[in-house]
Amino acid sequence: MTRTTTSGRPSRTMSHNQTGPAHGGDLAAARALFPDAPEPWIDLSTGINPVPYPVGELPLSVFHRLPSPADQEALEAAARSAYGASETSQVVAAPGTQALIELLPRLWTAKRVAILGPTYAEHAHAWRKAGHDVVEVTRLSEADAEIVVVVNPNNPDGRVIDRPSLLAEAAARAGEGGWLVVDEAFADFEPAESLAPVLPPNAVVLRSFGKTYGLAGIRLGFAIAKPDMAAELRARMGPWAVAGPAIELGRRALSDRDWLADAASARAADADWLDALLHPVLGSALGGTRLFRCYRSPAAPAVFDRLGRAGIWVRRFEHDRELLRFGLPASQSEWSRLTRTVGDGARSPG
């Protein structure tokens, strides 16, 4: 548990925080584990859209000058419309959802926090770092806590909690000063159960830009919250929190509904294809979204190993070695390499 002391330098206990949860996208780890694998690696370890929104030309001004309040307001208006946030909510841009995941736990002290898991590990890590009492629960009904955190759809298994259940969780905590945090990082293609249009006063919704639009490097995410909470988040971040290129690209992309619809169709087809390709070796998908698929199989460790030796990096999990998460290949050549490698395995398992 990390706390700052009330005198002197920050507590020495902080040093353990440098080692956070493992993540997809770490090809250095891949190369260390499979030093003889062929290059280039195919990175299927993330849930980032492999076909990014076109970056196009960016005016020099977005690099040169400080972003203006008007720039950020235009971005937030585009996000409000894209996410269907109600007029009584505010949409607050941040330099990546991770920044909000780090910031939210600092708004309270010593709460009981329940996280619906297993899920994206940064939530539990951030609440624990801020000194809260965190438990992971596997059902919402077990969440005996003041603050409940739900990733919806869930990462890695794609489990979706329906909107009425989420509203009930928020309502149950409203009288006691409790809060519901819903991380909708993967809801852009599956918005049916999003709380954005019906946000309760004691809920915060997080939306990620980079995954759906394939622009994770620009660092852009949003909180949707009622005005008091939105004001607190803005105050904590201070001015110019979001970079000029992120504001410009975010505004363009979030206003482009045709691109989103086309990407939704294309990624759904990719996901179906991936399920069909992996069925002979890993069985039916446990779940997922249009940007990643999750499989549980006793064959998972052998498949992870075979893919790794072939230079294909997928996501495994400490808590369950029979689980694998696959992102989508980026190109025909990546699909071909994956198909060949899986086919070899199907003929000669293990």
Using CB under 8 A, which residues numbered 220 to 249 contact a copy of itself? 227-229, 231-232, 234-246, 249
State which residue, 70 or 276, has the beta carbon closest to a copy of itself.
70
For a copy of itself, which residue of 80, 91, 92, 96 counts as binding (CB under 8 A)? 96
Segment contacting a copy of itself by CB under 8 A, of 92-100, 150-158, 284-292, 334-342:
92-100
Q: CA 341 to CA 109: how far, in whole Å?
A: 50
Considering the complex, state which of residue 68 and residue 86 has its C-beta at the smaller distance from a copy of itself: 68
Question: Residue 77 corresponds to which amino acid?
Answer: A
Site for a copy of itself in 311-340 (CB under 8 A): none
Query: Binding of a copy of itself at residue 350 (CB under 8 A)?
Result: no
The nearest distance, CB 79 to a copy of itself, in angstroms, is 17
Amino acid in the structure at residue 170? A
Residue 108 near a copy of itself by CB under 8 A: yes
110-129 binders of a copy of itself (CB under 8 A): 110, 122, 126, 129
User: Which positions ≥6 away from 109 have C-beta within 8 Å?
Assistant: 131
The answer to whether the CB of 332 falls within 8 A of the CB of 341 is no
Q: Is 33 in the site for a copy of itself (CB under 8 A)?
A: no
* Total site size for a copy of itself, rule CB under 8 A: 79
Taking CB under 8 A as the rule, does residue 10 contact a copy of itself? yes
CA angle 43, 259, 276 (to 5 degrees): 45
* Amino acid (one-letter) located at 299: A
Please list every residue from 280 through 299 that binds a copy of itself, using CB under 8 A: none
Pairing of the two strands 292-296 and 320-327: antiparallel
SS3 315: strand
Question: Where do we find the tokens 């504001």?
Answer: 247
DSSP conformational letter for 242: S
Q: Is 108 helix (H, G, I), strand (E, B) or coil?
A: coil
Q: How far is CA 103 from CA 112, 150, 179, in A?
A: 17, 16, 15
- Among 41, 74, 77, 107, the residue binding a copy of itself under the rule CB under 8 A is 107
> Judged by CB under 8 A, which of 74, 77, 95, 168 binds a copy of itself?
95
Separation of alpha carbons 144 and 164, rounded Å: 18
Distances (CA, A) of 47 to 39, 196, 326: 21, 22, 8
User: Given the complex with a copy of itself, which of 34 and 53 has the nearer CB atom?
Assistant: 53
CB of 103 to a copy of itself, least distance (A): 9
Residue nearer to a copy of itself on the CB measure, 25 or 287: 25
Closest to a copy of itself by CB, 38 vs 217, is 217
46 forms part of the interface with a copy of itself (CB under 8 A): yes
Confirm or reject binding of residue 215 to a copy of itself (CB under 8 A). Answer: yes
Read out DSSP for 275-296? HHHHHHHH-S--EE-SSEEEEE
- Does position 216 bind a copy of itself by CB under 8 A? yes
Specify the DSSP element, H or E, that contains 65: none
144 binds a copy of itself (CB under 8 A): no
Our finding on whether 182 is near a copy of itself (CB under 8 A) is no
